[in-house]
Each structure stands twice: as C-alpha cells, then as structure tokens.
C-alpha cells in the first residue's frame, strides 16, 4: 500500500509539474482539461498495471507478487521478537475515520446545494436552471444550476456576460471534473499534490468559461471590466464554479493569448511519451522466467518447507491446515525463496514444530507450534467394504 501511495503521488506530481511548466501558459484549454483528467486517472491506474518482460532471471511468470518472510519466535537460533503494538492497525483505523469524516462533508455539501436549489425560486433559461437566493454572493454554478442573488437580479445588475460565463460551466459539465477530483482527494486527503491538482482544474475551467464568453461577445476589454467590477468575497463552497474565482493577472492575460494549431499539435504529441515513461517507471513489472529456473525454485522450496504445516483461509473463511505437497501451484509460486545463508552453510529444512501462516497479504509468518494451535490431523478414512 505504501508503495502504491508513493507511486500515485509521484505520477500526480509529474503530471501537475508538466502542466504548469509546459501547458498552462498556452491557449489550449480543452486539451489541458483532458490532460489533467488523464493525469488523475494515470495516478490511480498505473501503479496497478503489471508489465511483463522476458528474461532468464528466476522470478514469477504469471504476475504474482512474491511474499516476504516475517519470523516470529526462535528460528535457526536467532530470536526475533514481534512488535506488541500493531501500528498498521492503528494507522488504518485513523485513516478510515478521517476518510469517513471527509466523505460525510462531501455528501453534506452536495445535499446542501441541492436543498438550496429546491427551496429557492428557480426557472429554466437556455437549458440551465437559474436559482434566485437571498444570499449576497457572486453567481456560481453547480451541476445544471446557476445560483444568483435575488436582489441583484431584481436590480438588473447581473450582466448577460456573467450568466453566459456560468452557463458555460453548466454546458461543459465542469461539476463532473470537480466531483471527480474531490472523490480522489477523499482517498488521498493526506497528499497535498491533489489539492493543487484541483486548483489547476478549476482555474482551467475559468479559462474555458472566459473563452466561451469572449467568443460570443467579441469584446474582451468590456468583459474584463465586468469581471473586475464584480469581485466580491469568496463564498467558499468547494464543489461550485464561481464567476469571480481566482481573478488573476494570468487569467486576464489568457483572454488575449493565441496559440497556433501547429504548436497545440506538437505539445499534445509530447504528452504521449510522458505517459509511456510513467507507465514504464511506475507500473508493476513481472519478468517471465524459463521453466528450468521455475523447477529449481520449487525444488528448493519443497526441501525447505517439507516438514512444516501451512495455514491459510479458504474462500469460505475457514482455517485450512496442510503440508507443502497439498498447496496449490499458485501458493507455491508466491512463496519466497529461503533466506540467504552464510558461505559454505547448507540449507536446512524447517523443523516439524514450524507453522507457516499465509493469511497476511504480502507476508509469510513463520512461527513455532507453541505460538499457534494446530488441530490434529483428521482420522484416516475407513477402508471401503469389500464387495
């Protein structure tokens, strides 16, 4: 899990860095939106991928992960004491509690916005639902709703450009992007990279909405005056797109920016090698082994584990106790090779008093029989009656 978290964070950081250094300053907002969303998907999916390469090196051929040894008690004369505090369990509980609180906040925000839309006066206009509220806030959009101040609407102080801007958020489904990044942040709340990812996505949404207004009204300077004159304190509803969100010099400058189609094509094509390199660096790798090395590994493990008792849970959750010979081929392949021995020392099989627990993901627990209760073997089957 830690490896996955590190890989996903690294992928997100690389994509965000590439966006800020190369793409953000160009007027290619639609592609930038696609790139940021693909970057998020890559951060989630790539660490799960398994790429296979051919080699004579001894390892797994079917993509299975090798398990690790954890010795408990006396093994080969070395006393290894297990930790008394289960820090892994404590961390998982803390993570689950924080995630549950954030999920509750996320659902509450959605419910509050829907409730606000239903409890206030609303009417349809050009495929969107205008909601008139009693709050003195800048217009903002969520899903197919545009929320505006009733008093400003009655005064006629909300210009058509403002409504066109918020309508662009609705027609381009920007709420889907925001909810997607928020769901990812629910899982990776401890990683600040995804916070800045959200800011980049929302600012690009503003570029897209501004561009839609400029294309419709053809008067950039007048629209910028409206934008600057409409500045009000932020309402801080994190799932919405507000008209005056992050009005920066860069946002105003982008309205005059021009990027040629040729440059857009070159920059877009440069993203393909980026994702390919990340796939090679951060996905899992399995190296196909030849049949000879496979047989050698299994022969060594057979000699090492021939005397021990294995325990694991079956699909029904029942505890199973068996010997090496009755393990499935898949379980035999996930077993790691015996620990390395000093030069000249021969491999010694584990004793009959050893129990190997395969129930923990990613680890093989090896312990003595005084640390685990092993049920007696079942009685032999009665002889079949002679006919």
Domain count, the chain: 1
154 assigned to some structural domain: no
73 assigned to some structural domain: yes
Burial of residue 130, with CB atoms counted within 10 A of its CB: 0-12 exposed, 13-18 middle, 19 or more buried = buried
pTM above 0.75, yes or no: no
Domain range spanning residue 354?
68-82+291-371
> Could you tell me what percent of the chain has a pLDDT over 70?
76
pLDDT (tens digit per residue) in 239-258: 777 665 666 778 888 999 99
CA dihedral 91, 93, 97, 102 (to 10 degrees): 50
| pLDDT class of 225 with cuts at 50, 70, 90 | confident
pLDDT (tens digit per residue) in 365-382: 777 766 556 565 555 556
Tokens encoding 194: 């995804």
Q: Using CA atoms, how far apart are residues 34 and 212, in angstroms rounded to an integer?
A: 17
319 assigned to some structural domain: yes
Cα angle 96, 14, 143 (rounded to 5 degrees) comes to 60
DSSP-based three-state secondary structure for 244: coil
DSSP-based three-state secondary structure for 346: coil
Q: Using CA atoms, how far apart are residues 366 and 116, in angstroms rounded to an integer?
A: 59
339 assigned to some structural domain: yes
Kindly tell me if the per-residue pLDDT of 67 is higher than 60: no
DSSP-based three-state secondary structure for 42: helix
**Residue 171 and residue 197 in contact, taking contact as beta carbons nearer than 8 Å:** no
**b (16+ CB within 10 A) / e for 337-372:** ebeeeeeeeeeeebeeebbbbbeeeeebbbbeeeee
94 assigned to some structural domain: no
Q: Which residues, at least 6 apart from 139, have a Cβ–Cβ distance to it below 8 Å? A: 146, 147, 148, 149, 158, 162, 163, 165, 166, 242, 243
Give, for 241, the enclosing helix (H) or strand (E).
Answer: strand 241-242
**Residue 351 and residue 56 in contact, taking contact as beta carbons nearer than 8 Å:** no
**Residue 230 and residue 244 in contact, taking contact as beta carbons nearer than 8 Å:** yes
How confident is the model at residue 355, as a pLDDT? 83
Mean pLDDT, residues 157-178 taken together? 92
271 assigned to some structural domain: no
How confident is the model at residue 62, as a pLDDT? 41
**Residue 152 and residue 162 in contact, taking contact as beta carbons nearer than 8 Å:** no
pLDDT (tens digit per residue) in 344-356: 667 788 888 788 8
221 assigned to some structural domain: no
199 assigned to some structural domain: no
Residue in 217, 207, 213, 201 with CA at minimum distance from that of residue 254:
207
**Alpha helices in 188-260, H assignment, sequence order:** 192-217, 220-229, 249-254
For the chain, give the mean pLDDT: 81
């Amino acid at each position: 899990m830690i490896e996955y978290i590190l890989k996903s964070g690294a992928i997100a950081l690389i994509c965000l860095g590439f966006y800020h250094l190369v793409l953000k300053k160009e007027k290619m907002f639609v592609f930038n939106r696609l790139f940021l969303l693909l970057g998020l998907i890559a951060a989630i999916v790539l660490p799960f991928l398994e790429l296979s390469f051919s080699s004579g090196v001894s390892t797994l051929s079917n993509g299975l992960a090798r398990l690790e040894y954890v010795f408990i008690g006396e093994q080969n004369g070395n006393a290894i004491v297990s930790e008394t505090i289960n820090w892994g369990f404590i961390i998982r509980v803390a993570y689950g509690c924080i995630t549950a609180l954030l999920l509750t906040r996320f659902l509450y925000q959605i419910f509050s916005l829907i409730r606000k839309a239903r409890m206030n006066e609303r009417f349809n206009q050009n495929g969107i639902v205008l909601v008139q509220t009693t709050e003195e806030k800048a217009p903002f959009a969520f899903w197919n709703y545009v929320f505006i101040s009733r008093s400003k609407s009655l005064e006629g102080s909300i210009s058509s450009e403002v409504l066109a801007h918020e309508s662009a958020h609705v027609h381009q489904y920007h709420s889907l992007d925001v909810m997607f990044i928020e769901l990812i942040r629910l899982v990776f709340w401890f990683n600040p990279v995804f916070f800045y990812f959200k800011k980049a996505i929302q600012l690009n949404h503003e570029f897209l909405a501004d561009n839609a207004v400029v294309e419709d009204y053809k008067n950039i300077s007048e629209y910028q005056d409206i934008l600057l004159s409409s500045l009000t304190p932020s309402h801080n509803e994190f799932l919405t797109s507000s008209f005056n969100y992050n009005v920066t010099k860069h946002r105003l400058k982008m309205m005059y920016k021009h990027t040629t189609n040729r440059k857009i094509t070159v920059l877009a094509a440069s993203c393909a090698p980026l994702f390919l390199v990340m796939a090679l660096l951060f996905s899992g790798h399995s190296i196909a082994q030849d049949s000879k090395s496979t047989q050698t590994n299994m022969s060594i493990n057979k000699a090492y584990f021939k005397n021990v008792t294995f325990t694991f849970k079956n699909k029904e959750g029942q505890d199973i106790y068996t010997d090496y010979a009755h393990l499935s081929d898949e379980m035999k392949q996930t077993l790691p090779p015996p620990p390395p021995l000093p030069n000249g020392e021969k491999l010694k099989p584990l004793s009959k008093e050893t129990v190997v627990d395969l129930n923990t993901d990613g680890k093989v627990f090896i312990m003595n029989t005084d640390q685990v209760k092993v049920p007696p073997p079942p009685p032999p089957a009665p002889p079949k009656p002679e006919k």
